[in-house]
Amino acid sequence: MPKITGKYETLFIVDLTIGEEAIQAVVEKFKTLVEQNGEITNMAEWGKRRLAYPINDMTEGYYVLIEFTSAPGFPAELDRVFNINESIMRSLIVAQE
């Protein structure tokens, strides 16, 4: 029986106030989490960018985009971990066609 996988894309914004080393640690943590549960097809660190609207009185954040393939249940777990981590300002996971 073939293994069921789906293509997904996640974009998350890391809080800049935690410092540069901590930002890289958070990015590496989520990169490792995705690699353990799927396969990364593309990863782009967009870096420091201005937010469309202030979030918690902050106007900038560190943007990271990861495209990956995984089992259909993993994106829900990834979203749960994003919501637990206080360094993540916003996150979005989208299934690709």
For residue 32, the domain's CATH number is 3.30.70.60
Please report whether residue 1 resides in a domain. no
In the chain, the number of structural domains is: 1
Please report whether residue 65 resides in a domain. yes
Say how far apart CA 30 and CA 63 lie, in whole Å. 13
Largest CA distance in the chain: 51
Q: Which pLDDT band holds residue 2 (cuts at 50, 70, 90)?
A: low
- The average pLDDT across 40-57 equals 94
Range of the domain at 58: 6-95
Please report whether residue 90 resides in a domain. yes
Do the bridges between strand 88-95 and strand 6-14 make them parallel or antiparallel, or are there none, so unpaired? antiparallel
Helix axes 20-37, 74-84, angle to 10 degrees: 160
Residue 55 above 60 pLDDT? yes
Residue 18 above 70 pLDDT? yes
Length of the chain: 97
Predicted pLDDT of residue 97: 78
Residue 20 above 70 pLDDT? yes
Say how far apart CA 8 and CA 49 lie, in whole Å. 23
User: What pTM, to 2 d.p., does this model score?
Assistant: 0.91
